[in-house]
Amino acid sequence: MAHSRLSRPRRIRSLTERFRRTACRRAWGEPQRQVTVLPGVTWFSTAGHGGFIVSDEKFPLNPVLRNSKHFQGTTVTRGGDVRVTFYEFEEDAAWAALCLVHPEVREAANATGLFPNRVEADYCAASVKRWYPELGI
């Protein structure tokens, strides 16, 4: 007998995409632009704001970010067995912490042309030092 439901990995992938867009709406409003930088790391732009939404399931965050009071995750549960946690890194300053701690995100964002100018690690470090000095990174 054929099983009509999506396989669990496909169902999680489908739900993850919807949850990521929902996380963006909840944080900043309706997305106008979406750029997947790496699996689990997506940049959203809205009419008023934006930033990175990171799925901890697909892109495990460094504990410095995951455990910080500044970057609290939102866990979404669907269907009882699918739990996805998203972290928001807004475009004003929080994105720099993500790009400093995870240089692969910065490099991928630079490669996609996401930023108008190439972003270097020292720029991220200066932003983090100014806005999040207690992180000590």
- The burial class, CB within 10 Å (0-12 / 13-18 / 19+), for 66 is middle
Residue-wise pLDDT for 15-63, tens only, equals 556 666 677 666 777 888 889 999 989 998 888 888 998 988 788 899 9
Quote the CA–CA distance of 62 and 108 in Å, as a whole number.
17
0.75 cut: is pTM over it?
Answer: yes
> What distance in Å separates the CA atoms of residue 52 and residue 33, rounded to the nearest whole number?
12
Residues whose CB is less than 8 angstroms from the CB of residue 111 and which lie 6 or more positions away in sequence, other chains included: none
